[in-house]
Amino acid sequence: MNKNAQFIVADDDRSVRTFLVHALTRQGYKVSAVTTLAGLWDFIMSNRGNILITDVGFPDGDVLDVLPRIKRERPDLQIIVMSARTNLLTAIKAQKYEVIDYFPKPFELGKLIEVCNRAAKFFSMTEKKDKVAFSASSSNQLIIPETIAIPLVGQSAAMQNTFRLLTRYSTTKVPVLIHAEAGSVKEEIARTLCQIGNQKPKEFMSINLSYTPSDEHLNLLFGHENILKSTRSKTLFINNIQLLSSDAQRALMSYLDKSNLTPYRPERIIVGTSIDLRNYVSQGLFRDDLYFFLSSAYLSVPPLRERLEDVKTLSTVICKSLSEEFGVMKNLQGSAVDRLQAYSWPGNLRELMFLLRRLFVNNVSNEITVSEVSLEINELQSNFSDDKEKSLRDSAKYHIEKYFNSLGDDLPSSGLFEQILREVERPLIQATMRRTSGNQIKASKILGINRNTLRKKIKQLNLPLSRNGYK
């Protein structure tokens, strides 16, 4: 460890500043402290300090706005950012201007000291060499969006790793696997990943495998429609990749193995799944080589119940969007936001979006009250708690009505009848096979279909053929 490295701690919060100065001094480092952006700039211009630990917001400005100037004046300076308002934009700017790391406040001192020690070690390796020239890199090419996509709004601790990885992956072209529970609006996350990593806008194409029968997947990707060919030099997002048929999996893996020899190919492939795809691999339902290829970069997005502190910001952004859509300004009562934060949101972000939409449509006043929010949430909770007592027909009716209500004034896409049958077919056959411990003869009698028909459907749905898969 090199103790010659000199640290600058920049923070207008006296308690944080004092805490960090003492902690770094105990590590044996020389430490200086500044309280304003102007004071920090004086240190930069006087060539003092080697490693900067800085807050984002100061009374006289935002440090992220001057990072490009700092890097130009002091390309050798290593920078660590910490902020109580860390969000996706913070992560993008930190990556764009090659900050070595950033920490949301409150931070873990042990992790911060670990990063500081690494920075000091790097300084010891480079102090006798020429200073590194400031030059553009793939990180410098990041685009800072004017607005943040709704699924990525927030600054909770649970989202910090998602922000870091998303900005890191955006500078490459490797495939990305987005793992997020249903209702997370994965397409918008994939679109953001594509947009912030390209100086020139790239076309984005999205397909959802749940809308296509499994026996048509091969044709969708390589046949008459040939999605892969039509997405040449575009970003292709394939949602619900776990549903991809075995034949299409085999063909896609073969295509990816030879993609460098193919005259047409997407610039990038991003896939989404709401399940842990590793379980499908272990059960033989998904090819391991295809999984390893598609998960070269793995982006996990926490469900809304794990970041309830973001509900207030999310609700504000959603209400603003709805106000623009309906041409009328409506706000949430403070206590109404508290009620939203107290709910666990089993339907994830999409459930919050549709609940607020219903309130906008049905509320005549410009303020949405806590009683109106509570009525909606109580109805949702009642529907979920009554599920076990409902008949199969009542349950189906409830979920179908819920689906239509979620569309607002829009109509479903064509092929709804077949889509619903596909949604029901897989869990029905899987549950029956589990109940019979994989005995196809017993399962076919229970279902009232021919054994050969059952076997064909099991293959089409990528379910296990052997009894071992249902133990």
List average pLDDT for each run of 10 residues in the chain, which is 471 residues long: 80 92 93 94 90 92 89 90 83 82 81 90 70 46 82 89 89 92 93 81 86 88 83 89 93 86 81 90 90 95 92 95 91 92 90 93 89 89 59 73 71 77 84 85 89 87 75 61
Q: DSSP of 320-381, one letter per residue?
A: HHHHHHHTS--EE-HHHHHHHHTS--TTHHHHHHHHHHHHHHH--SSEE-HHHHHHHHHHHH
Give 51: exposed, middle or buried? Use CB within 10 Å, 0-12, 13-18, 19+.
buried
Tokens of 317: 């952004």
**Amino acid, single-letter form, for residue 398:** Y
CA 105 to chain centre: 21
Whether the model clears a pTM of 0.85, i.e. scores above it, the answer is no
Length of the chain (residues):
471
268, 191 in Cβ contact below 8 A? no
CA 312 to chain centre: 19
Q: Which residues contact 257 (CB under 8 A, 6 or more apart)?
A: none
SS3 443: helix
The pLDDT of residue 205: 92
CATH architecture of 305-406: Orthogonal Bundle (1.10)
β strands within 78-171, DSSP E: 78-83, 101-104
Sequence spans of domains, the chain: 6-126, 150-302, 305-406, 416-470
The pLDDT of residue 385: 56
358, 405 in Cβ contact below 8 A? yes
State which fold the 416-470 domain adopts. Answer: Arc Repressor Mutant, subunit A (1.10.10)
> What is the DSSP pairing of strand 331-332 with strand 176-179?
unpaired
Write phi, then psi, for 363 (nearest 5 degrees): -90, 130
The CATH classification of domain 150-302, taken from the options 3.40.50.2000, 3.40.50.970, 3.30.70.270, 3.40.50.300: 3.40.50.300
Please tell me if the domain spanning 6-126 has the same topology as the one spanning 150-302.
yes
Q: Which CATH superfamily is domain 6-126 in?
A: Response regulator (3.40.50.2300)
